[in-house]
Structure 1
């Protein structure tokens, strides 16, 4: 079964054709990130306009690269939630028109479920149930994946997401957007214990995260030094902040796995490309005899392949939308 997946939740316009949820036949991504760098972050209006300008060409290229036509497609999956509402609307409306004209099933697909599904592409042997740490610019969740389409939230951030904290801290250090990537590279040269930073704890919810205090601590450290005319070592700052964020993620994730007696762990989302997070979890899971699955780095960011993969399983579960499907800015991963 071949699924066309369409993604437009943020600043990437993407389309992909995936066979049976696991085999990528094409994967095309057009990003407007260079334009957003001018403003230090994603500008929703600009993102929406760029989606509208290039979505048709991106989908056409995905079909050509896969050497198929719409007649060969069994379903059209599209990210309908969560994300920037204007950006989502471009993808949803395009997919609705395409599905109607081609008489194909329209499959609404949740963005975070799709990130989890990127692991089915990179790890063809992976099957639910498992526990997944989903970390991105807008989300930080610990999710129990009970089946391909049934999920339960175990923990979540109470304020900032990990990726958002990385980006804002990096911007304070003078790094260009997306700052998380730049910080990860710079941190490799620094001392992770050079600066003592807090580890926020949510006392009434041991698996939840809170990154706003940690973000504020690093920003205050930088501002206080600036007011005194001091120059702080950027590599050490990056390494210390990265270590603190990753430490919070790993600690809560492993605690949840232990408490729920789950030994198959998965990571997903843009921050799953973070080199320290991948190393720490590999080391910890090896010591604990847990199985760890990670997406290839090329599938960590937003892409159409992950949408097509999840849409395959949604279609098998008969999750098909009518033409009144609408975009939704916020929607929990365990919706139904």
Structure 2
């Protein structure tokens, strides 16, 4: 990890092995060894609950909205929490921590780590390690979530889409954190934020209920905001994010050269905060902008630009016309 003038660029830079460093504290050595073990039954049960409960709320949202409607407070809380946590994943977890698309001040680094954690998609270190491994083996043997895992026939692709969308998360084999995210394992603040995932999950789920209760001054308002702003919002964001792994590696236009089958899926662009311009991302992983062609909405890139203008981030890796042209498919 390179540190210059108090600012940092995220990335998978090689670091000394904390697990074998005699001067490292016990917590550092323990953290460094995590991620290569098998996932336990209890963890898989907890994961299933975190998937199924919000999904049940998402399914129930249609009849609930039809029968009782959706109030302005619930709508505002849901939209605000959705895009706050969506950008926490796209700008923070993905473009910054995984790919180092820009440098961030230390306070901004902490904010991005916590904002991404509020999306309830897993601890920071695990998410980054999994995604870096995905890029290393994209759509090949070793990719944690390729929809082409079982072959190219229709039955194999259906099975593969299920695997890429959510099945892979129940795999016993876990990505080694020290191998794929040594920079984060070696950062005490990032390790602590990652370990406190349970706290950020609690805050993410209770904050909408708190806002709804304070605005309405009623338990009914709190419960309604919890249903929409917590459960429905988490489920929607989960499935949009997972669709980048499944749908965007099975269909979509491929105007740029990449080593895999990543495609651009325009109808996911707004809800994915620009992540569904996935073909360019795999053609140029460190680019801060994914939607580089005319009309391609990329709210994450816009947000990074605002952060840059405010002086909170710098050395942003914006794609120039020559860089884009060099990656064009024949």
Q: TM-score, normalised by structure 2?
A: 0.26
Q: TM-score, normalised by structure 1?
A: 0.26
Would you tell me which structure has more strand in proportion to its own residues? 1
Would you tell me which structure has more helix in proportion to its own residues? 2
